[in-house]
Chain A
């Protein structure tokens, strides 16, 4: 029942906001309240889940069951982690916009909430048609957010992203229909039925490729990534946060939910190529990041590198690799949000994200500098920060799969230090520039956004067992370890 609430609150609030007249101050407060409420519900759901992980909460109203489609939502460890990430980040993303001078119309917040609804749907449904529907619905709000509030060239860039992911989605749809036809007895779209199917290797190969394309574009995995840096750059920062913080996890989730359990034979054959692409992406994106001069683009490439490592861990199909991917999904979501918010703070004050135009901020705003440092350390996986746990497990898993590939992927710990410390040095240290002369330290609102981020970075880094424990049974069932 609670899950039903979880998905309806953002939906109803979104409709309300679409209907309301433009009163920016009120509207964004409504949006924030709704999203915080949703977060509260999700905590309740989580507690329910932790009490009894085996009989996980399910929401299954008798809406329709023609064609074997059923409206059903349920949470296992994997879903619970991602729903938590979503409901945690959305209020943060909404609140992070409170300090901007330019008020956004109510539609903006309505779209964000609609997005939250779709994301919760994607992560919690147990029916693959619903999964597909939510998957595509999620595309709509971000499309409008980017196009209406985006920067230069937003139309073309957004359209490219839209078409690109749509095409990927269509391949997935064909594969879904095929799986449906193959499902035993009375056909059904329930995940559980799909898991029972025995597919011959040649069918698996094509299905794998179709799903892979959809998820590889979404994450994105090299070389399907070229929409990403441009879109991250042009979209309004809150849109970028949605994209990088939560939306790309849809791809990771898809791999975990469908590719790993459904196509073992195809993975035996083609998994290596997926890993090779992922590992190439890590090095490729890291090396490019080193020479980027625009902060947002640099963060975009760094995200690409980190996601590459997640993908490599996933396709290694080792316990530690997949477990690490789960933890790193959460960590990456929180950290990338933090990084983009730091970017936002800088741009608010200086009007520029060009690294060469910045400098000397640490002397002006020591508190901001300290927060930025912690988030940055989280991104270069220093031990006792969240991403160390994730990357350690990811690399361990990859190492079990192939030592050489792990060594190459491990270059990320060197390269990430190169570009992240470069950012820090050029923006925070050195002499102040014209643009940073009047840099003021954090406001309360900004502090309120950054404190939870830092808490999570340290929490997962110092005491990760709650998260590890939640992920473990999910990994076991995905990899069929008993």
Chain B
């Protein structure tokens, strides 16, 4: 079965080609159904693969053909099927399928329906290449490919230039990270002579911890992850990316693509643990991003933007885990996050659908009774992301907090703060949108309506996963069997042990105590309740005029900073180079050289008089000069 892995990416590729070549022929929802099927089949295959892997099948590399093969460099087009890639396959195809189905209902009225689904299939294809590649360059194909699909889908409604700007920004910011990634690849080739995971990781065991080259490599790889997974300083594209249709935000900008950076670092865990410096950088960037984005999310009013900053913040969490060497924790949270964040986005889409495009939570309110199904689904997602037991987020976050504590108690405290922020912004959103009094005008022609079954059913399945998804990682102290730890042991145990090496083990009692923040989360939810429901601050304009409030509300002025520090200077430089250097210096010099020749020609021609006497005179003078010259030269 493992040898048939190529079937997995093949189907969405076929779907993409089929729909794009017949984009005028498919009528109604047929393109959406085809596209969904093209993701469903790989999902079934992935389930079979997963089953086989659980049954103890060895990891396998399946080579399709030789892609680049010159001199000492051999880069095959090949796939790696192992525990890590199969889990990612399940997430991408499983969550991907549900979102495809949801989109059939969500996008039904859109004239670009067929185009939408062809792009979605294209995205799934590249995402599958990303997680399946058995070397860094195949991974990079997927890496850039998902960037392209993301670009196409963010700017899906391309008549709006603001959306196009958002799409372009996403692509370019990703490319900044990608340059780092490429340079890392060059260093890898220089160091290991190959880009194949297996060979690199096999060789890496012989490298001492703290090697400078490895530090450079891992830092550059991480630069790629910063771009793709929207970490500081390259995170500002993700909130803007909300310009795309909501299912896109759910699939690409929450569940799958943005987690590619986390996947890549986890995949390269054996390299990263060789560089404590990089690990520390990852932790710091991760926690800083989690706090920064979390705080911004607390004051946003656009339902999708809140979720977007939440995603940035949750990705920060995953990087905290990676930096702490808790690779399993990162992958665990990646998985549960895919469930509940996809759910939240789809539910948000359902709200937006119900309100005919309204995204501002200040103009919502009281939706609880109008769209109860959506409400309950949204509530489930919120409980899961806030990290309340027994929802999925509790267990994965707990694993991350534990890892953070291992690294440093300070990191743990900061992570707890970030977790509390999560509870704050999610329940602020929930209460403002669903509780209180309606703040919108409902007209008879466009009543607020619940979404159809094709949309609520996929959400219900995601809600179910958000509830029980955490059960794969119930820690031993709570009487669980921590199956995900065992699942990933062949891949991560070496690195995780290497990171923990030297630090003392945490006692059962401490581990239980570390779960205490759950109480704080409840307290925060109550505070939010009293503020936004009891005192109904909702309609009041936020933020309070304080300096800090303003700073957060304005998203710490990152966009303004980039505009004045990068965009404007580059534009100015461009004008300067063209108008001054190009035209006034280089080209003028070239023209002057030409003019000089013409001028010399004009003047020298006077020597050519046609007078034989004059010529004789020149000749004699010349001979004398040459004689003199030779005389003195000796």
Contacts and interface: CB of A to CB of B under 8 A. Distances in A.
A403 interface: yes
Contact of A288 (B65, B73, B582): B582
Interface in A201-219: none
Interface stretch (B51-59, B137-145, B344-352): B137-145
Contact of B148 (A363, A377, A395, A422): A377
Interface string A268-296: 00000000000000001001101110000
- Closest 3 pairs (CB-CB, A-B): A429-B158, A291-B574, A226-B587
A392 B183 CA distance: 10
Q: Which of A164, A403, A417 has the most CB of B within 10 A?
A: A417
Interface in A350-381: 360, 362-363, 366, 370, 377
Contacts of B155: 425, 429
A287 B65 contact: no
Interface in A284-332: 284, 287-288, 290-292, 319-320, 323
A413 B178 contact: yes
B71 interface: yes
Given A319-B71, A417-B175, A425 B574 contact: no
Interface string B8-26: 0000000000001001000
A482 to B, nearest CB: 12
Contacts of B179: 407, 410-411, 413-414
Contact residues on B (Cβ < 8 Å of other chain), bracket: 35 or more
Contact of A323 (B70, B161, B175, B189): B70
Contact of A383 (B115, B141, B165, B591): B141
Interface in B422-456: none
A372 to B, nearest CB: 13
Contacts of B171: 417, 421
Interface string B142-166: 0011001001000100111100110
A382 B574 contact: no
A465 interface: yes
Interface string B548-581: 0000000000000000000000110111011001
Interface residues of A, number: 52
Q: Which of A288, A323, A407, A472 has the most CB of B within 10 A?
A: A288
A382 B71 CA distance: 23
B168 A383 contact: no
B69 A465 contact: yes
Contacts of B167: 425
A407 B183 contact: yes
A406 interface: yes
Contact of A163 (B165, B573, B594): B594
A418 B167 CA distance: 12
Given A319-B71, A323-B70, A413 B175 contact: yes
Given A362-B158, A407-B183, A472 B70 contact: yes
Given A389-B68, A399-B186, A291 B575 contact: yes
13 contacts: A160-B590, A284-B577, A287-B577, A290-B570, A320-B70, A382-B145, A382-B148, A392-B137, A403-B186, A403-B187, A406-B186, A418-B172, A472-B70
A413 B172 CA distance: 9
A396 B189 contact: yes
A400 B185 CA distance: 12
B582 A226 contact: yes
Nearest to B160: A430
Contact of A320 (B73, B182, B586): B73
B66 interface: yes
A288 B578 contact: yes
Nearest to B71: A319
Contacts of A58: none
A223 interface: yes
A463 interface: yes
B169 to A, nearest CB: 10
Contacts of B175: 413-414, 417
A463 B581 CA distance: 42
Contacts of B65: 463
Contacts of A284: 577, 581
A363 B186 contact: no
Q: Which of A323, A389, A400, A468 has the most CB of B within 10 A?
A: A468
Contacts of A468: 68-70
Q: Which of A163, A360, A389, A421 has the most CB of B within 10 A?
A: A421
B192 interface: no
Interface in B1-58: 20, 23
Contacts of B618: none
Nearest to B72: A319
Nearest to B157: A429
A319 B23 CA distance: 44
A361 B304 CA distance: 30
Given A226-B582, A396-B189, A463-B65, 12 more contacts: A323-B71, A363-B158, A366-B23, A366-B115, A406-B186, A417-B171, A418-B172, A421-B151, A428-B158, A429-B161, A430-B158, A465-B66
A431 interface: yes
A281 B73 CA distance: 29
B190 interface: yes
A464 interface: yes
A384 interface: yes
A360 B159 contact: yes
Given A287-B577, A291-B571, A406-B183, A363 B71 contact: no
Nearest to B139: A383
Contact of A425 (B66, B161, B570): B161
